[in-house]
A and B are shown apart, each in its own frame.
Chain A
Amino acid sequence: MNPYLYMTKMKLLLSMNYRFDFFTKLAVQVILLFVTSFFWKAAYRGIDTVQMVNEQQMIIYSVMSIVLASVFTASVESNIRSKVRQGNVAVDYIKPVNVFWMYFAEDIGNMVTNIIQRVAPVLICASFFIVVPKPVSLAHFLLFLTSSCFSFLILWLISALVGLFYFKVIEMGPIGIIKDYLIRLLAGTFVPIWFFPSSVQTVLQFLPFIYTYQLPLSIFIGRTSLNDALWGMLIQILWVLIFFALFVRLKNHVERNILVQGG
């Protein structure tokens, strides 16, 4: 078996072992599920549709947003951060592998674990107590899946880019966490961007964030037409290419001057 695939498998088996982690994270998600659905029920009281989206669609949007957030993990950043701090990057680089493919394989393993462990419980819980998150059509659903893959690539590359910065600065304090929440906010995970002032919306059109969460989610609920979905995915691909180019440049720079801490 290919070493990268084996890494994915190992990560998968490994994270299956963390029971405690599993239950606490699940609990957080279920709470989030109820809180957001109550929030939208309250917000929509007496209102039929806002910005072409009705209450039902909006609640499905937030359920699926929680599902996506629980699937997407990019541990590259924290991985590199702890390795740089402890000087353990060295042991990754003494192996004849592409180190970042290895990190990517690890994250794929984590993601498969999340799909197996976390998606089903959240979906079941939502279907019983809140709403059955049904896509508008099969075509929309398939586009949603494809678009989500691109979303993951964008998020992973952003995470890897930030991770590469740790080679340079070693310590960035809380910037990492702030960045995560900022991305989530600007990506429309909590409140979709169409509720923002139109000037903000225009600016966000030109930034990558809404192409991580909002695009696949609004495809799922049918707010984005199939045609627009394809256009959106084209922009996603563009962002993937831009971030990939940046990533390769920064990675080459860092590898040329790798900073290994201590002896």
Chain B
Amino acid sequence: MEQKTTPPVIKAVNLSKEFITKKKESGIKGAVKNLFFAKNTVKKAVDGISFEVQRGEIVGFIGPNGAGKSTTIKMMCGILNPSGGEVWINGLSPKKDRQVIVKDLGVVFGQRSQLYWDLRLGESFELLRRIYEVDKAKYDATMEDLDRILNINDIINTPVRQLSLGQRMRGDLAAAMLHSPALLFLDEPTIGLDVEVKYSICKFIKEINKKYQTTVILTTHDLDDVQALCDRIIIINDGKIVSDSSLEDIIDKTSPERQLIVDLYTDDIQLEHPRAEVVKIEGQRVTLKFRKTEISASELISYISKQYAIRDLSLVETDIDDVIRQIYKQQREPVV
């Protein structure tokens, strides 16, 4: 097979989901009223999004609470049917071929577990091995890999209900990876985890991506994870895609300014530069704002050091949380 026309792993065109909920009134009078004239309200959870994902990409889906991230993921795995538009996974529609698609798909819903509550963790794995028809030798090899990164063997004999949140999450990740899927959907996989586990999960995702070219879609509210993992970030707000680019591009576009803080030996400071702005002068400390595209930090530093002796300095990069918050705020105005 030639590699010339590999179709995108995911292709979504105008994908939409409307939830119809009955508006209920409270109280006894309301309850009677609800029986007869419950009003339907329509909520557009996902509102016509289109995107493509190629094999081997790690894409971060971010957006404020209720933006429609989980809904999009659910439509991509075929558990929810779109109310408009369409999505294809490897050219197949999850609506029609759910069972086929799901065979090569690993999904982790952070707040839910696919493990059997009452059983030892290993028992759930054994069931999954049979569901996905993984042969024993392959399974053992995969488990060894998973154990190396996620320390699965420490917890494999513990009943799932006795696992801590982080341990359970490790178990769930392993369960999703057991059949070495080519596509991985992770909906908040690091929710409530300690730094150590978070780090190992990020490492794990990176490793399988590199080793097997696994395509990963990740939603999270932890921007450190996104920064560590994602080549590409899709920001969703109010059911619409507001930005689709790499993290650097986002920073360059929305908040291209960096800050330079310089401590001098004098408090008599007269500083000016055509391509940098002095934000404030406080005693012996000057804060300057400048754009990466206009002047480099070293250029600016050497300019200052020609006039004053520099005691100390620090460069403040844009805080990605700020950047993202700014994008969330400018609803519906696409950042292009």
Contact surface of A with B, Cβ cutoff 8 Å:
1-3, 6-7, 10, 14, 17, 86-91, 93-98, 256-258, 260, 263
Contact = CB atoms under 8 A, between A and B. Distances in A.
Interface string B33-51: 0000000000000000000
A90 B112 contact: yes
Nearest to B187: A263
Contacts of A17: 118
Given A10-B116, A90-B74, A256-B81, A97 B131 contact: yes
Given A87-B112, A91-B109, A93-B77, 11 more contacts: A6-B130, A10-B123, A10-B127, A90-B74, A90-B109, A93-B79, A94-B79, A94-B105, A95-B102, A95-B131, A258-B80
Contacts of B127: 3, 6-7, 10
B74 A260 contact: yes
Interface residues of B, number: 31
Interface string B80-107: 1100000000000000001110110101
Per CB-CB distance, the 3 closest pairs between chain A and chain B, nearest first, are: A263-B70, A3-B130, A91-B114
A10 B118 CA distance: 10
B32 interface: no
Contacts of A263: 66, 69-71
Interface of B: 66, 69-71, 74, 77-81, 98-100, 102-103, 105, 107, 109, 112-114, 116, 118-119, 123, 126-128, 130-132
A263 B79 CA distance: 12
B130 A94 contact: no
29 contacts: A1-B130, A2-B130, A6-B127, A6-B130, A7-B127, A10-B116, A10-B119, A17-B118, A87-B112, A90-B79, A91-B109, A91-B112, A93-B78, A93-B102, A94-B102, A94-B105, A95-B102, A95-B131, A96-B132, A97-B131, A98-B99, A256-B81, A257-B81, A258-B79, A258-B80, A258-B81, A260-B74, A263-B66, A263-B70
B220 to A, nearest CB: 13
A94 B107 contact: yes
- Centre residue among A3, A89, A94 by max chain B CB count within 10 A: A94
Contacts of B123: 10
B231 to A, nearest CB: 25
A14 B123 CA distance: 11
A33 B105 CA distance: 52
Given A87-B112, A88-B112, A14 B80 contact: no
A41 B126 CA distance: 52
Contacts of A94: 77, 79, 102, 105, 107, 114
Contacts of B74: 90, 260
Contacts of A90: 74, 79, 109, 112
A94 to B, nearest CB: 5
Contacts of B116: 10
Contacts of A14: 118-119
A81 to B, nearest CB: 16
A183 to B, nearest CB: 26
A2 B127 CA distance: 9
A96 B112 contact: no
B14 to A, nearest CB: 20
A257 B75 CA distance: 11
A236 B131 CA distance: 33
A87 to B, nearest CB: 7
Nearest to B101: A96
A263 B72 CA distance: 10
Given A10-B119, A10-B127, A95-B102, A260 B80 contact: yes
A142 to B, nearest CB: 34
Nearest to B113: A91
- Centre residue among A87, A97, A98 by max chain B CB count within 10 A: A97
A14 B114 CA distance: 17
A123 B77 CA distance: 49
Contact of B98 (A88, A91, A93): A93
Contacts of B105: 94
B5 to A, nearest CB: 27
Nearest to A91: B114
Contacts of B132: 96
Contacts of B78: 93
A14 to B, nearest CB: 6
A6 B128 CA distance: 10
A253 to B, nearest CB: 12
B161 to A, nearest CB: 12
Contacts of B66: 263
A180 B118 CA distance: 26
Nearest to A5: B130
Contacts of A1: 130
A96 B130 contact: no
Contacts of B126: 6
Nearest to A87: B112
B95 to A, nearest CB: 8
Nearest to B99: A96
B79 A260 contact: yes
A97 B107 CA distance: 15
A251 to B, nearest CB: 13
A104 to B, nearest CB: 15
A263 B66 CA distance: 8
Nearest to A17: B118
A96 B79 contact: no
